[in-house]
């Protein structure tokens, strides 16, 4: 049964990674997907941010799944998180086509992806950290940011106002979740926090380019709060 789950995870990972190839791709919701058009919403990171981190996540998850099948198929530690990871990846394989059709269902699905990815991350063993914890951490960390970003854009797209306060609240929610995960996790989680930092950096840059200094300042403050937490987790990770 362990080996079968490892095979299923590899198949789901490949399907997930192929999703942007066999679909138009996704770099944020478009303005015309909402009753209230969302043109370059403040909480949405710059488009390049998506492309860079998803390339890393897809590649690393594939390496993880291959290693898990051929080297750790019967390992109980690796097996502990396989079902929630499989669930997250299966939902993720369908996410881009859904997101291009309906932001509402895309938002529901991304929270499911986030919850199951975090569940899987919570169950990873202390060893094989670069093979398992690191790619899972990047994946779960980016989903933490993406789920809050998507929900914020959805809210203002359906009339929630003022935009600055609504998006600011969801940015703070993402940072609160990240801090809570960092504090409650049984081990160091630098890759999880690194993905969050990357998302927030993308928000800072996008708002600076657009001249939205207030929201850019809020995002920069979140970055300043998260950086020392990330540094502590990175030191713990390197020391163990």
Domain membership of residue 128 (yes or no) is yes
- Residue of higher predicted confidence among 30 and 75: 75
29, 157 Cβ separation under 8 angstroms: yes
The pTM score is 0.95
pLDDT, residue 72, reads 94
Domain membership of residue 31 (yes or no) is no
Rounded CA-CA distance 145/223 in Å is 13
159, 192 Cβ separation under 8 angstroms: no
Domain membership of residue 148 (yes or no) is yes
Residue 29 corresponds to which tokens in the numbers above? Answer: 């919701």
pLDDT, residue 187, reads 87
pLDDT, residue 168, reads 97
* Average pLDDT for 73-98: 95
Rounded CA-CA distance 122/236 in Å is 17
* Average pLDDT for 29-40: 88
Count of domains for the chain: 1
Beta carbons within 8 Å of 109's beta carbon, 6+ residues apart: 91, 94, 95, 98
Beta carbons within 8 Å of 151's beta carbon, 6+ residues apart: 107, 111, 170
Rounded CA-CA distance 28/239 in Å is 38
Whole-angstrom Cα Rg for the chain: 18
pLDDT, residue 27, reads 66
- 161-185 residue pLDDT tens: 999 999 999 999 999 999 999 999 9
Beta carbons within 8 Å of 101's beta carbon, 6+ residues apart: none
pLDDT, residue 26, reads 72
Rounded CA-CA distance 45/27 in Å is 9
pLDDT, residue 65, reads 98
Q: How confident is the model at residue 103 (pLDDT cuts 50, 70, 90)?
A: very high
Domain span at residue 141 reads 2-24+40-239
Q: Is pLDDT of 156 > 80? A: yes
Domain membership of residue 163 (yes or no) is yes
- 123-148 residue pLDDT tens: 998 788 999 999 999 999 999 999 99
- Cα within 13 Å of Cα(188), Cβ side: 19
Q: How confident is the model at residue 2 (pLDDT cuts 50, 70, 90)?
A: confident
Q: What is the DSSP letter of 8?
A: H
Judged by phi (left if over 0) then psi (alpha if -120 to 50, else beta), residue 197 lies in alpha
Domain membership of residue 30 (yes or no) is no
pLDDT, residue 22, reads 87
Domain membership of residue 62 (yes or no) is yes
Domain membership of residue 33 (yes or no) is no
Q: How confident is the model at residue 28 (pLDDT cuts 50, 70, 90)?
A: low
């Amino acid at each position: 049964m362990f080996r079968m789950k490892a095979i299923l995870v590899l198949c789901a990972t490949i399907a997930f990674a192929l999703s942007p190839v066999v679909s138009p791709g996704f770099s944020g919701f478009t303005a015309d997907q909402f009753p209230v058009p969302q043109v370059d919403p403040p909480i949405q990171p710059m488009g390049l941010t998506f492309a860079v981190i998803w390339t890393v996540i897809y590649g690393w998850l594939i390496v993880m799944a291959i290693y898990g099948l051929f080297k750790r198929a019967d390992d109980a530690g690796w097996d502990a998180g396989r079902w929630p990871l499989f669930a997250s990846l299966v939902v993720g394989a369908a996410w881009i086509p859904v997101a291009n059709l309906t932001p509402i269902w895309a938002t529901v699905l991304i929270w499911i992806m986030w919850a199951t990815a975090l569940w899987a991350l919570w169950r990873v063993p202390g060893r094989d950290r670069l093979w398992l914890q690191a790619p899972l951490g990047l994946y779960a960390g980016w989903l933490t940011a993406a789920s809050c970003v998507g929900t914020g854009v959805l809210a203002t797209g359906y009339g929630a106002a003022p935009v600055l306060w609504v998006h600011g609240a969801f940015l703070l929610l993402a940072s609160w979740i990240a801090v809570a995960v960092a504090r409650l996790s049984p081990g160091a989680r630098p890759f999880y926090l690194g993905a969050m930092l990357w998302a927030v950096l993308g928000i800072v840059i996008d708002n600076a380019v657009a001249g939205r200094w207030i929201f850019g300042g809020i995002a920069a403050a979140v970055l300043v709060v998260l950086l020392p937490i990330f540094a502590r987790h990175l030191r713990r990770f390197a020391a163990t």
